[in-house]
Structure 1
């Protein structure tokens, strides 16, 4: 149990440090996905470069599009599955942005629905807050283990 708590504590502190360096981008995206009507706004990615999928056998194979956003000329790229972009104009792709996150773009699915905060597609964004929040219980467990060990050694001293 002690090893597991130490690993959680280390991962939580490392993720917190990385998020602090990146202005808590993943955490902001995760919390914005709870209320997309308030935080998401439309933009258009003007595509300069298209990279087709390597294999055409799978429907999950992704296209990569690089370009810039019309609103503020942010240069960025996005990965979209092959089935989503078929029979679409791919020179200008409608995207979604979050006002508090300046350097990240998000693509809604074919039916223009935002992925739920805990969906598989959002796993990069919900794992970060979970690891950050895991610092607190792991610290409590480590302190409790240390307290029990100290009490046990004091008790053994008095018995001898």
Structure 2
């Protein structure tokens, strides 16, 4: 939900952040870091997620909000999950990055991953969802198909 405090190491580079995702998955030994592997991983995911940076050694703090968010997404995806939970995936990013992040989310779902999107931005929910669940006070209170859902119905279910 908050990439700056929970999702990235701001003063580290893209490669170190992405490699941190592998470390978190327990697939790599923290005491043996192959710099070439880290650079290859970074180049692959920078291309896959269209992360734009001044150069290959750019620190994440130097990236735009949308590119920082794509680094966070990459940290999770390098772990090869079967389920991905996006919590406010486009908060604090520009319109162009929103479209790119939505494309990433749709591609993951098309590839067969289970994708859960938690968002307070209703147009995002309406655009991305195959099924919409409305929660109130920690419980699911309503379910909509995209065909029947409207922003009004979702908001009504959320507050009544």
Taking structure 1 as the reference length, what is the TM-score of the superposition? Answer: 0.27
- Higher relative contact order (CA closer than 8 Å, sequence separation 6+): 1
Task: Please identify the structure whose Cα radius of gyration is greater.
Answer: 1
